[in-house]
Copies of this chain bind each other. A is one copy, B any other.
């Protein structure tokens, strides 16, 4: 079994931002030399998500509006008694999930025709990480 680990860093300009990372994930898989296996793409923070969906600007705007509706910014989260103001970012993380596994087949990402991998930042403008962990052979 082979394994390969990389960390990719983000420091988004906006507090909330979606970043397309499919090619970065593919590069890590190529570097790993793994032909058959899994790559785990996992946010290392509790206020950011990793998800797979469509690279289409209108949809990305829809996702932001929808998330704000299901997990809205509010002043009065109990979590804010700690001095934080990002309660909504934790809930947005829970709804979107913080990780995906992409299968690796014949040395490449085994994604459907429209599937792309995204990092969703809910509390940015600071350095944050995603771990890419490849296992297989």
Contacts and interface: CB of A to CB of B under 8 A. Distances in A.
Contacts of A87: 59, 62
Interface residues of A, number: 58
Contact of A137 (B1, B61, B101, B111): B1
A112 B129 CA distance: 8
Q: Give this chain's copy count.
A: 3
B81 A58 contact: yes
A56 to B, nearest CB: 6
Say what secondary structure dominates the interface of chain A: mixed
B59 A78 contact: yes
A15 to B, nearest CB: 18
Interface of A: 1, 3, 5, 36-38, 40, 42-46, 51-54, 56-59, 61-63, 66, 70-71, 77-82, 87, 90-91, 93-101, 103, 105, 110-115, 129, 131, 133, 135-137
